[in-house]
Amino acid sequence: MAKTPIIVRTLRELRGQVWEWRGSGETIGCVPTMGALHDGHLSLITLAKKHAGKVVATIFVNPTQFAPGEDFESYPRTEAADIAALASAGCDLVYIPEPGSMYDAGHCTSIKIRGVAESLETDHRPTFFDGVAIVVTKLLNRVAPDMAVFGEKDYQQLATIRRLVIDFDMPIKIVGAPIARDAHGLALSSRNKYFDTDGLALARQLNVIMFECAAKMRAGMNVDKAAEQARQAFLDAGYDSVDYVSVASKNSLTKLEGGILNDNARLLIAVHCRGVRLIDNCAI
């Protein structure tokens, strides 16, 4: 039977447990989440367990990464099911900060990341990475792990966090986890819960169009032309709109210029499907 993880809600309890483990020579892995966990999150826990003796998951729906009008209020909150799922994955401790304890009334620090955090997501969600940067910094400072795992589905977020940790001299190894997909190839996401049957069928076209686009690029089609065809394919399939179909360098995330592919290219896509914003990406 799965062992229930230790649940802590205060920084004092969190630090007490982590220091006790450190005292007995354990290494610590961290998997920050916003809850509404699915098998993709559990694969992050499994990966963290390969790197660290004890794994801490955090659950916090971070208000600062949602823009006004986004789904902060309606974001699924499923704490009991999340804890059961984390137990099944062998997570050792779940940190669920008490509401109000992450950002007290005096909170006034912000972090602006340029470079990898510019363009792509930032063109459409200008304050998203500011919110991610501050909460990830706080969570990593609180847990003080040796390593932390983030999913490659949020590819630009992963690149941004890698940069953040370097820039703040945090002694934490950041490990990217491969994208977990359902049997139809749809990247697992907490927001997939918003779809009805029809919406889910349409959402499952995302990876089909994306992989077709990558195959065309690999076969030698001009990158801009293949991206434009993918954009049109989404609209023809019935997607609401396309934020971007973009090819960027896999490390710097600078846009590939000139329409010619190189070995470092990553295809990144953001679309709106029946009112739900979806992102996905793949190597080319």
Catalytic residue of the set 41, 51, 124, 184: 41
The burial of 55, by beta-carbon neighbours within 10 Å (0-12 exposed, 13-18 middle, 19 or more buried), is given as buried
Six-digit token string for 88: 């099944």
Contacts of 204 (CB under 8 A, 6+ apart): 182, 184, 185, 186
Q: Do the Cβ atoms of 230 and 244 come closer than 8 Å?
A: no
DSSP strand pairing (28-33 vs 6-8): unpaired
33 forms part of the interface with ligand PAF (CB under 6 A): yes
Nearest to 56 by CA among 38, 77, 33: 33
Report long-range pairs for 102-108 (Cβ below 8 Å, ≥24 apart): 102/60, 102/62, 102/135, 102/138, 103/63, 103/64
User: Which residues make beta-bridge pairs with 242?
Assistant: 271
226 forms part of the interface with ligand PAF (CB under 6 A): no
Instruction: Provide, rounded to whole angstroms, the least separation between the CB of residue 135 and ligand PAF.
Output: 5
Site for ligand PAF in 55-74 (CB under 6 A): 62, 65
34 forms part of the interface with ligand PAF (CB under 6 A): yes
At which residue do the structure tokens 């137990």 appear?
Answer: 87
Piece of 27-35, 72-80, 81-89, 96-104 that binds ligand PAF (CB under 6 A): 27-35
Using the minimum distance from each CB to ligand PAF, give the nearer residue, 134 or 248: 134
223 forms part of the interface with ligand PAF (CB under 6 A): no
Q: x/- contact string, 141-180, with ligand PAF (CB under 6 A)?
A: -------------x--x-----------------------
35 forms part of the interface with ligand PAF (CB under 6 A): no
Using the minimum distance from each CB to ligand PAF, give the nearer residue, 66 or 234: 66
Using the minimum distance from each CB to ligand PAF, give the nearer residue, 122 or 157: 157
Site for ligand PAF in 73-132 (CB under 6 A): 132
User: Which residues make beta-bridge pairs with 270?
Assistant: 244, 279
Catalytic status, residue 41: yes
**φ/ψ of residue 275, rounded to 5:** 85, 0
Using the minimum distance from each CB to ligand PAF, give the nearer residue, 65 or 192: 65
User: How many residues touch ligand PAF (CB under 6 A)?
Assistant: 10
What is the contact surface with ligand PAF in residues (CB under 6 A)? 32-34, 62, 65, 132, 135-136, 154, 157
Q: Which positions are annotated as active-site residues?
A: 41
